[in-house]
Amino acid sequence: MTKALAASPSPEAFGSVVRGLLPAIVSALNEATQKHGESWIASSALELATGVLEAADKGKLGDGFVAGLAPSLFNCLAIVDDRDVIIVSSPNHFEPTFAHYLRMAASVSR
């Protein structure tokens, strides 16, 4: 659903979705680092972030998205111990979540 909203043809849709979701994603990732055993919080936040990244047009991720997300994302990945949060499944293989997000962010930032 996040991807569909962010990918809306309306010119302001993507920016509105990012402005609305980024603080919630960051907050959820920060909360996940405090609540061990509650990996669903991190998983849900990462799914939202993935939807935003997948909907972004190349070069149109927006100012501050990576800078706003990265500290909380990497802190959460350093602390969480749930394999399903640390590893994501891509179509061809499993890769570390941080590598997945860096690759996705790089592809839309160019």
The average pLDDT across 85-106 equals 60
Average pLDDT over residues 86-104: 59
- Number of domains forming the structure of the chain: 1
* Cα 84 to Cα 100: distance, rounded to the nearest angstrom: 13
How many helices (H) and strands (E) the chain has is answered by 6, 2
Instruction: Write the pLDDT tens digit of every residue in 49-85.
Output: 888 887 777 767 777 888 888 888 888 877 777 665 6
Number of neighbouring beta carbons within 10 Å of residue 32:
26
* Cα–Cα distance for residue pair 100/46, rounded to 1 Å: 11
Angle between helices 13-34 and 65-79 (to 10 degrees): 20
State the amino acid at position 64 in one-letter form. G
Q: Provide the domain limits for residue 16.
A: 2-109
At 6-15, the pLDDT tens digits run 667 777 777 8
